[in-house]
Chain A
Amino acid sequence: MRERPEKPEGPPAFPLRLPKKIGGIFGSFDLWVENLSEGRFSVLLLSPLIIFLIAIIGIPIARTIWLSLHQYLPARPWMEYKFIGLVNYVSLLRDPAFMKSLIHSFYFTVLNIILMLLLAIPAALLVSREFRGRIAVRTILLLPWAVPIAVAGTTFKFMYNGEYGVINYLLKSIGIIKEYVPWLMSYDHVFDWMYSSTAMNAIISAAVWRTLPFSILMILAALESIPPDYYKMAKVNGANSWQIFRHVTFPLILPGITIVVLWRAITAMRIYGIIDSMTAGGPGRITETLQILTIRTFFVSRDLGKGTAMAVMTMLFTLVFIIFYLALLQYVQRKRR
């Protein structure tokens, strides 16, 4: 307990000048806070966040893990609700649908990241230059981020339509395709072992369109944190623009690019919205990723034990990326100081 020497006269007016009755309650709360130590004050301010997160995310995650170790089928109440250990996980490994969805998820993630980088790095370099209307161009490039996922999905579904889709019309008028292609409904696989399907690629291009703005922004943030003196030094020492890019810009934005890649890997492993609104996993199961399969297991086949096991597997897959991501963030932050 610590006495403050210069305590103001009368009850302290917090938070506004309130009538005396309420002011008294606030005043005593204020005094109580005043006498807390620094650590306890921090805990007091952090407690809403911690309680909220534990209640809404922490406890449900624990229960998911707990459920995944049990046999739990609400659709068949005569079966017992009992502890069965890792049986759910073993049955997952034998499940071809799960393996397929795993491959689909990885395919989606890898191709999405490659395409995104190929577009985002040039775009960020372009926008980082000085030219007239730069702010306007930046805002326009950011617009796809503001489109709701469901709307983006429906728009692309409409544009990919096999009968009246504009993408078919444009490609045919250029001469790339001869006949209209029902992009989201085609079944063809290139190879069975090297997964590729038209519907999946169409979805990936829509997802790239939707996530490009954010990756441009992150790379732009990295670009703008480079001090301009570096460029001046390089120019004074006689480097041409390619050398400047190769030896100054690129190494300095590499951590930023890696953060973008890891961020996208984490979010692409849990991709749901754009696929559900475009094909909902179809045709057949060609675009069924981990999340879609998990939700189908929950709400269609009602095998909660298996579904929670899948959710835990998804968690484990993303955990690797998450650890790398957080470590890299710490590294970048420490370097910036």
Chain B
Amino acid sequence: MWKRIWNQTKDLIFKGDHSRLYQIVFMLLVVIFVLQALFPIYWLFISSIKPISELYDRDQALIPGSVNFSGYMNIWTFMDFSKNLLNSFIISGFATIIILFIGSLAGYVLGRTKIKGKTAIMVLILALSMFPQVSFLLPLFEAFSRYQLLDTHIAMILPDSAYLLPVGVLALRAFYSQIPQDLERAARVNGCTRLGALWRVIIPLSMPGFVSVGLMMFTLVYNEFFFANLFSMTKASQPAPVAVLRFELGYYQPWDLVTAASIVCMIPILLVMILAHKQVLKGLMMRGAV
């Protein structure tokens, strides 16, 4: 009997792409997955526009009765959140530029030239980026404190870009290796120098790759927590996500401000994801496929 039930469920799941039941189950599963992905984000948003009396209610309403935007006003006046947002943009912008510059040069070598030991170099680079961050945290902390770089943007730009560089190099390498060799050869025959061919032929052709990898890196640096948490102490360099964590009034977390600030600091990344999801997906696929 169990075998029959098992066979029937198997048929239900894996057979009959066009049966009614199959489609209903399929859509139901899709809806469940979509809901689990969206619910925390939805809840964050709903909580940020709830009036405070409903926010701390034991019986939470899934759809708020009334709307109150005071949290969005107060984060600028009470918490000076614009400074944190600016810090975030400075850090992720500069780190992305460093990654793209160094990564484009190295990706060219790893993707297009034929030299010995390419695989070894790649493996070594990847291995370096996989060690836990604590394994180089303390010497970096000492060095930064010696040169008074703690609590500046540089203290986060340098480790973030170094830690994410290998991923960027590998993704860029994948984009480079898609460009046909003949194009480069044609440019060289027609009198382009080496760097000229790189600058005029290869880099314009891999612009989509740069956009994908750049957006991905921007998101990763923006979301990064480890160095942002440990190397920033005050408003001078604290990026927005870490500042959200530190919103405290005494021992009490003002959830209306925290939720509003979370939504605000997620907006840039969500915009990137929604407007450029194709590019980001492509970049991530490149990283996943390696």
Task: Identify which of B102, B123, B281 contacts A142 (C-beta below 8 A).
Answer: B281
Contact B26 A49 (CB under 8 A): no
Q: Which residues of chain B are near A135, meaning CB under 8 Å?
A: 277
Which residues in window 108-135 of A have CB below 8 A to B?
A: 119, 122-123, 126, 129, 131, 135
Q: How far is the CB of B260 from chain A (nearest CB, A)?
A: 12
The B interface is mostly helix, strand or loop, or mixed, namely helix
Q: Which residues of chain B are near A291, meaning CB under 8 Å?
A: 132-134
The verdict on B67 contacting chain A, using a C-beta distance below 8 Å, is no
| Measured CA separation A57–B102 after assembly (Å) | 15
B interface footprint on A129-168 (CB within 8 Å = 1, 0 otherwise):
1010001011111111111111111111011000111100
Contact A225 B165 (CB under 8 A): no
Also in contact, A143 and B38, with CB within 8 A (given A126-B26, A225-B289, A330-B119): yes
Pair count A-B, CB < 8 A: 292
Contact A311 B132 (CB under 8 A): yes
Task: Identify which of B62, B135, B161, B230 contacts A61 (C-beta below 8 A).
Answer: B135
The verdict on B69 contacting chain A, using a C-beta distance below 8 Å, is no
| Measured CA separation A169–B10 after assembly (Å) | 35
Q: State the interface size on chain A (CB cutoff 8 A).
A: 109
Q: State the interface size on chain B (CB cutoff 8 A).
A: 102
The verdict on B138 contacting chain A, using a C-beta distance below 8 Å, is yes
Q: Which residues of chain B are near A294, meaning CB under 8 Å?
A: 134
Contact B229 A53 (CB under 8 A): no
The verdict on A95 contacting chain B, using a C-beta distance below 8 Å, is no
The verdict on A87 contacting chain B, using a C-beta distance below 8 Å, is no
Contact A137 B38 (CB under 8 A): no
The A interface is mostly helix, strand or loop, or mixed, namely helix
Also in contact, A52 and B41, with CB within 8 A (given A142-B277, A146-B266): no
Also in contact, A56 and B140, with CB within 8 A (given A141-B33, A242-B10): yes
Q: Of all chain A residues, which has the CB nearest B88?
A: A148
The verdict on A288 contacting chain B, using a C-beta distance below 8 Å, is no
| Measured CA separation A151–B261 after assembly (Å) | 9
| Measured CA separation A308–B135 after assembly (Å) | 7
| Measured CA separation A128–B139 after assembly (Å) | 45
Q: How far is the CB of B56 from chain A (nearest CB, A)?
A: 5
| Measured CA separation A34–B192 after assembly (Å) | 10
A interface footprint on B33-55 (CB within 8 Å = 1, 0 otherwise):
11011101101100100000001
| Measured CA separation A155–B281 after assembly (Å) | 25
Q: Which residues of chain A are near B102, meaning CB under 8 Å?
A: 48-49, 52
Q: How far is the CB of A68 from chain B (nearest CB, A)?
A: 10
Which residues in window 8-56 of A have CB below 8 A to B?
A: 8, 12, 14-15, 29-31, 33-34, 38-39, 41-42, 45-46, 48-49, 52-53, 55-56
Closest 8 CB pairs of A and B: A241-B14, A270-B132, A60-B136, A273-B225, A56-B162, A148-B241, A60-B139, A150-B241
24 A-B pairs in the complex with CB atoms less than 8 angstroms apart: A8-B191, A46-B121, A56-B140, A56-B159, A137-B34, A139-B274, A140-B38, A141-B34, A142-B280, A146-B272, A147-B223, A149-B223, A151-B266, A154-B258, A158-B43, A169-B58, A242-B15, A272-B225, A298-B138, A318-B132, A322-B130, A326-B123, A329-B126, A330-B119
Measured CB to CB, the residues of A under 8 A from B are 6-8, 12, 14-15, 29-31, 33-34, 38-39, 41-42, 45-46, 48-49, 52-53, 55-61, 63-64, 67, 119, 122-123, 126, 129, 131, 135, 137-156, 158-159, 163-166, 169, 180, 209, 212-214, 217-218, 220-221, 225, 240-242, 244-245, 266, 269-270, 272-273, 276-277, 290-291, 294-295, 298-299, 304, 307-308, 310-312, 314-315, 318-319, 322, 325-326, 329-330, 333
Additional 10 contacts, C-beta under 8 A, given A150-B225, A294-B134: A30-B195, A45-B105, A126-B33, A139-B273, A151-B241, A244-B14, A311-B135, A315-B131, A326-B127, A329-B290
Measured CB to CB, the residues of B under 8 A from A are 10-11, 13-15, 26, 29-30, 33-34, 36-38, 40-41, 43-44, 47, 55-60, 62, 101-103, 105-106, 108-109, 113-115, 119, 121, 123, 125-141, 143, 158-159, 161-163, 165-166, 169, 191, 193-196, 199, 219, 222-226, 229-230, 240-242, 244-245, 255, 258-259, 262, 265-266, 269-270, 272-274, 277, 280-281, 284-285, 288-290
